[in-house]
Structure 1
């Protein structure tokens, strides 16, 4: 009986320590998830622990593949790793029994496993735990959490969260709305997955009713994902404002708009007033008056009639400017320039040309008259002397007809007669020669 009990204890101890064939001690295995998601280009942190802390801790991570498994991390010899993983793998975790590994710039879906001191999670015959890193190209969408109801002016806590597997560099969360008391934190989930949360207090306003609220997550790899929700805010009905032109001219069109907000109400009617007097033509949200006159100036206001009550807007002062001068077809400025300036320039040039011609003619006349006078006087003097010589010769011939031509006086008179014959033609052409001189 005692021998049987002793044998049971021996078999139990052997099973616990892994000596018994077909059994395996948990002391020789590492604990890690079967799979973990990762985003391509980002990082992934694989959680890993082992049950006991051996002396001279030596950790090696392998990539599982056909044939020889390449080393992707070696804490004793960092150079003894595959070139594709150099500078991309790091030991993380502060626990003494941690064998967690971070892989930066994740590229492909692969299976990995650790080996500690050559005997923990290293026996291929007895089996070892592995992890499959599942890489995706699409980032996970963030999650928006809103209160069930939002009321104008009442602060509400809004949360945006996103799951990830890289605590070293988690995604950044951004809002499109203004808030206060912003907080953020990381929550650890299972299997190496974390949740990053960002919260803020938001004060709803009627302006945001029906508008989108967006939470955007930006990852280390530059990828962006977002989630959108529509804000449904409860608020009191109100006339926000009146819009339209305040100054207009006679003959134009006047447009005024009554901006009114009332959630979940379609039965709305409008009334328009000028100086407190109702306008029959105004029953819609927009008031339009054609061919306005100076008498249409005044203070305009609108009133909105709803099932929840009547609401009035502030008045808007409209001034209609009277048209003092009506120009049917105004001449464009370029046409005015052509019509006025060009004729002025042409007339100025013509007047200047006339003045130049007059001055030139005066100069020619002043230069030519003295010469003409001198020529006239010379011709007259020559004519007088020739005529005098002609008269004397004729009288002398009549009185001294009997004298011979051989006398000295006759000899002297012959040259004079020839000279007279030579000079006589110019006497007859006196006027023509004078005319030629003047015309030069």
Structure 2
């Protein structure tokens, strides 16, 4: 190959650049947008060939498909000088063109907007420059996948600090996506922000830190990103990572195959259960009343009278060990003795209560009979006082009382023992009949000296 044709080619290339006024701008080679959303194009243009003064007015242009400005004019989607937008609902240049910043936002992009786009700048002094390197905008109906790091968490030791990062493209920082976490540990702390990548595009970044706990082992932690868009539904994308935690035995306890009460002659199996990671090299040891019995996850034996008592187990792996709570195994005969004692004591208490109740009833009956006798005796005394016997005269207590009123008439009886006769005198007073007896004794002759 000769050198002459190569030199001719370089000369021709430089001539095209000068005559076409093509210069370079700082644009990413491509960017992916989500349909129904917007896309922000980071843009700067170099100024070695451009003389910009603070007093100059600078206008920006965006051309689709071809860098040629006038072939055809319909390819000019944004004309900053005439403020004309073609094919888009809205296009906005955010950068300060006088500072050579041309960052632009294309709103409501659709699938048919996927194409190459060139930037052009013009000044009021008739300087015109079209930038040769375009950006390719790719419009998709689905958002780009998330990036969750680390993608596969290696096993971490309990109580160590874990870092998880979830990031997603943010093609439209004016309408940024939102990041949410699910099934996160209780100690998690989360920060979320927009970050600029080396190519000047942006992404939303969420950082989570937490202390690993054995309760988080095998937990699926999910990161979900939601993109707002002018459609019936927002777009979401999700990714998940499983957390693996190394920890010593936890929640160690004993289970029994039937119940805690067994009878002599039956077989019983005790199982030591525990949570741990790793669990494939677990060691179990059995104890009764503090004395070691056997090793292994299960303890099986035939029950006899000496089998009753308190049992516990220990579980151990390479990271530590733990002791279970003690459980009591009650043999049926021992249970019968306890039940018999309880029944005996209950029967004794019941008998004592019945005897006490019986004695109380008897005392109550005796008290009632005594009160009745006293009442009857009082009545008999009243009858005796008001009775009159032939050997004497008795007057009731009421008749011995003094007259309470001057109208009451008092009658006196006369007893004469000289005549052996008995006569009765009836005196009526105040409507009542009073009977007095007169007794006369037989006269005896007395010898007088």
1:202 deviates by 1.2
Alignment partners' CA distance in 2, 1:187 and 1:305: 47
Contact preservation (8 Å) 1:61, 1:112: yes
Kindly indicate whether residue 181 of structure 2 is the aligned counterpart of residue 177 of structure 1. Answer: no
Query: Does the residue aligned with 1:207 lie in a helix, a strand or coil?
Result: helix
- 2:120 corresponds, among 99, 103, 115, to 115
Contact preservation (8 Å) 1:70, 1:81: no
Return closer, same or farther for 1:228/1:59 CA change in 2, 3 Å cut-off. same
Q: Which residue of 2 aligns with 1:72?
A: 77
More helix by share: 1
1:227 deviates by 3.4
Query: Does the residue aligned with 1:174 lie in a helix, a strand or coil?
Result: strand
Alignment partners' CA distance in 2, 1:205 and 1:38: 40
- 1:157 corresponds, among 138, 148, 163, to 163
- 2:107 corresponds, among 70, 95, 104, to 104
Contact preservation (8 Å) 1:241, 1:258: yes
Alignment partners' CA distance in 2, 1:304 and 1:133: 61
The 5 A counterparts of 1:194-213 are 194-213=202-221
Alignment partners' CA distance in 2, 1:120 and 1:133: 28
- 2:134 corresponds, among 127, 130, 133, to 130
Contact preservation (8 Å) 2:261, 2:330: no
Kindly indicate whether residue 143 of structure 2 is the aligned counterpart of residue 143 of structure 1. Answer: no
Kindly indicate whether residue 324 of structure 2 is the aligned counterpart of residue 313 of structure 1. Answer: yes
Alignment partners' CA distance in 2, 1:318 and 1:308: 31
Return closer, same or farther for 1:257/1:117 CA change in 2, 3 Å cut-off. farther
Alignment: residue pair count = 298
Alignment partners' CA distance in 1, 2:270 and 2:35: 56
- 1:226 corresponds, among 234, 238, 259, to 238
Return closer, same or farther for 1:232/1:299 CA change in 2, 3 Å cut-off. same
- 1:284 corresponds, among 294, 297, 300, to 297
Contact preservation (8 Å) 1:248, 1:320: no
TM-score (norm 2): 0.51
Return closer, same or farther for 1:57/1:311 CA change in 2, 3 Å cut-off. same
Alignment partners' CA distance in 2, 1:71 and 1:289: 91
TM-score (norm 1): 0.52
Alignment partners' CA distance in 2, 1:246 and 1:258: 12
Contact preservation (8 Å) 2:89, 2:107: no
Return closer, same or farther for 1:223/1:275 CA change in 2, 3 Å cut-off. farther
- 2:314 corresponds, among 279, 285, 303, to 303
TM-superposition CA deviations, 1:31-68 (whole Å, max 9, x none): 43332222333332112223254622322323337854
RMSD, aligned CA: 4.8
Contact preservation (8 Å) 1:46, 1:102: yes
The 5 A counterparts of 1:75-90 are 75=80, 78=83, 80-82=84-86, 84-87=87-90, 89-90=91-92
1:203 deviates by 0.4
- 2:43 corresponds, among 34, 44, 48, to 48
Alignment partners' CA distance in 2, 1:149 and 1:278: 34
Query: Does the residue aligned with 1:23 lie in a helix, a strand or coil?
Result: helix
1:159 deviates by 2.6
